[in-house]
A and B are shown apart, each in its own frame.
Chain A
Amino acid sequence: MVRSNNKELSTPKLFIIAGLFLLATGMIWGITGGLQYILPGFLKRQLSFERVRPLHVSSVVFWIILSAIGSVSTYIQQHTGKKLYSNKLIKAQFIIFIISIFIILCSYILGKFGGREYWEFHPILALPIIIAWILFLINVVKSIGTLKNQPVYIWMWLTGVIFFLFTFLESYLWLFPYFRNNVVNDMTIQWKSYGSMVGSWNMLIYGSSIFLMDKISNTKTYSHSRIAFLLYFTGLFNLMFNWGHHIYTLPTHGFVKHISYAVSMTELFILGRIIYLWKDSLTTAKKNFHQTSYRFLMAADIWIFLTLVLAIAMSIPAINVYTHGTHITVAHTMGATIGINSFLLLAIAFDILKDTCRNFKPYKKRFNTGYWIANGSLLLFWISLICAGVIKAKWQLSSSQIPFSSMMLTLKPYFIVFFIAGVIMMVGFLLIIYPLVINQLLCYSKRNSTEKIDTSHQTAVSFQNK
């Protein structure tokens, strides 16, 4: 059985802490980009928007990826009751990731690009990421061993790890002239890979969330249930075939769009289930609201509902024509990455990092304030983006279009609200993550503290014995 000392800063924990640092820096880049929207020309010479945007996007994407790796690596050990297959592999993976991310972010600051949207860095830097991911794949597969009688989260982790590698490699097919020589061919493959890639990291995060929910409720009934597997297969089906909704307006194959439209409607099944179970969720929420991890799971539940409604609407091509290329798409992305992914990852981060030799109680009030600030401001942020999107959609369809710059001026009030909400949201997130990181760092640097058995592992051990 795995037991560790809480003074030991294990590599999976380091992944999550590094992720939290990237979340904090990503928000600062986001605020800078927001300022450039409302103050045209702000930092144009020093750090123009084409540098700030990838700095923001890559920082938060790596927050999601690193903390997903950290959570899967921790929970696999808690699930199997054994250490990871290789500690050396995960350490090597961590070092490769950190060095690569550092070089990537520095290259953006210097204005050195060469990739494409979301992976703007020079393609050579994709190599270490691929190598690090292969190390992760080996560790996950070897640590799990068999698929027989495994709960749904094991299936989700394996799916996520394999599909991330596949889609990441696929997103570099543009390096071959056959794929890149026509913009439509190139964008078809680009969005095929990106659409599925998001699904792959969602598999890692949702799998870890299900593990956490089992842990909180002290039962493994759900993760072995028929409904859990049906939802997993629905998610996988969407991961594989639903990517076409990103490119409805691209003159690509019609069947890509029709398949995506049909497949995306299976999400109505997930939406229906959320509504059906709403009352039960509320009762459980009231019971577990005192638990920090559970609070984030509950917040994510609300954001899953809001984002799913928007996603299903946007999956209908005739509606997508209006929303595509507007800030409604941004609202959808922000709802998914902040409201769902980040909240779920924070729930997991609190479960894994909260128990240290230092007490969390003094930070409780600060945490509560941060939690409500982050949720309230995210809603305002989301609404302001939807409003800006509606105005841009009207402009796109207007028969007598005013110039683009004049249209952008009409959006300014919404950008100001969006910026203010963004700043408040950053404050909220910092209030939440500060005690988590500071407690870990102070505890581990305190050499003379007494050795205690890691309480998170104690919980895991008792959970295993249930």
Chain B
Amino acid sequence: MLPEKNKLYIISLLLVSFLAYSGFIYKSLPFKNSAISEESIHGKILWQQYNCNACHQVYGLGGYLGPDLTNAFSKKGPAYISAFLKDGTETMPNFNLAQNEITALIAYLKSIDKTGSADPRTFTKNYDGTIEQ
């Protein structure tokens, strides 16, 4: 049996470390001064309201029915994205989006695209198992 005192020491140490780690992450988020346009903010709200994440991924996280859209803006361009948003596809429904909604969603995808690359081909794999972007 582990002595009661030791259990309390371990749990206290873990809790303090966790709270300190959480606090540090909240305070020093990876992207500083990340002011984004009103249009992009509107786009994020629409992204959630239409639940785009159910089918699409951002940085490989989300649903698998549709493609990853992290770098769709730079790879495909706004006109290509707009065509999909206007009419849908065989799988994707036509959400009957208004033009300002399409513009906002494209602005949101543009702001995601600016943050980096999600293409696994661009990662360097090291022998110690780590990766570099």
- Interface-centre pick from A41, A48, A51 (highest chain B CB count, 10 A): A48
* Contact A117–B129 (Cβ < 8 Å): no
Known: A113-B51, A316-B129. A149 touches B120 (CB 8 A): no
* Contact A261–B129 (Cβ < 8 Å): yes
Cβ contacts A302-338/B at 8 Å (1 or 0 each): 0000000000000011111110111100100000000
* Contact A185–B30 (Cβ < 8 Å): yes
* Contact B34–A181 (Cβ < 8 Å): yes
Chain A residues near B126 (CB-CB < 8 A): 318
- Interface-centre pick from A54, A181, A237 (highest chain B CB count, 10 A): A181
* Contact A187–B59 (Cβ < 8 Å): yes
Range for the number of chain B residues in contact with chain A: 35 or more
Please, how many angstroms separate the alpha-carbon atoms of A265 and B14 in the complex? 17
Residue A50 interfacial (CB < 8 Å): yes
Q: List 24 A-B contacts (CB under 8 A).
A: A36-B65, A40-B90, A50-B50, A53-B51, A114-B48, A115-B48, A120-B51, A120-B54, A148-B4, A181-B41, A187-B58, A188-B29, A189-B29, A226-B1, A229-B2, A229-B7, A241-B18, A249-B60, A257-B130, A318-B129, A318-B130, A321-B131, A322-B120, A325-B61
- B residues sitting closer than 8 Å to A (CB atoms) are 1-2, 4, 7, 10-11, 14, 17-18, 21-22, 25-26, 28-31, 34-36, 41, 44, 48-55, 57-68, 90-91, 93, 111-112, 115-116, 118-121, 123, 125-126, 129-131, 133
Known: A40-B90, A44-B93. A184 touches B55 (CB 8 A): no
- Interface-centre pick from A37, A258, A321 (highest chain B CB count, 10 A): A321
* Contact A321–B120 (Cβ < 8 Å): yes
* Contact B30–A184 (Cβ < 8 Å): yes
Task: Kindly count the residue-residue contacts between A and B in the assembled complex, taking CB atoms under 8 Å apart.
Answer: 178
Residue A183 interfacial (CB < 8 Å): yes
Please, how many angstroms separate the alpha-carbon atoms of A149 and B8 in the complex? 11
Please, how many angstroms separate the alpha-carbon atoms of A226 and B1 in the complex? 5
Please, how many angstroms separate the alpha-carbon atoms of A251 and B52 in the complex? 21
- Interface-centre pick from B31, B54, B121, B123 (highest chain A CB count, 10 A): B54
Question: Which of the residues B29, B52, B61 comes within 8 Å of A185, measured between beta carbons?
Answer: B29
Question: Which of the residues A37, A149, A188 comes within 8 Å of B30, measured between beta carbons?
Answer: A188
Other A-B pairs, 4, CB within 8 Å; known A181-B36, A325-B60: A49-B55, A113-B50, A183-B115, A192-B22
Chain A: residues with Cβ within 8 Å of the partner, total of 74
Please, how many angstroms separate the alpha-carbon atoms of A114 and B48 in the complex? 5
* Contact B35–A181 (Cβ < 8 Å): yes
* Contact B59–A250 (Cβ < 8 Å): yes
* Contact A41–B91 (Cβ < 8 Å): yes
- A residues sitting closer than 8 Å to B (CB atoms) are 36-37, 40-41, 44-45, 48-51, 53-54, 113-117, 120, 148-149, 155, 170, 173, 178-185, 187-189, 191-192, 224-226, 229-230, 233, 236-237, 240-241, 246-253, 256-258, 261, 316-322, 324-327, 330, 396-397, 399, 404
Nearest Cβ on chain B to A45's Cβ, whole angstroms: 7
Nearest Cβ on chain A to B11's Cβ, whole angstroms: 8
Chain A residues near B21 (CB-CB < 8 A): 240-241
Chain B residues near A258 (CB-CB < 8 A): 130
Known: A324-B120, A397-B121. A54 touches B51 (CB 8 A): yes
* Contact A48–B93 (Cβ < 8 Å): yes
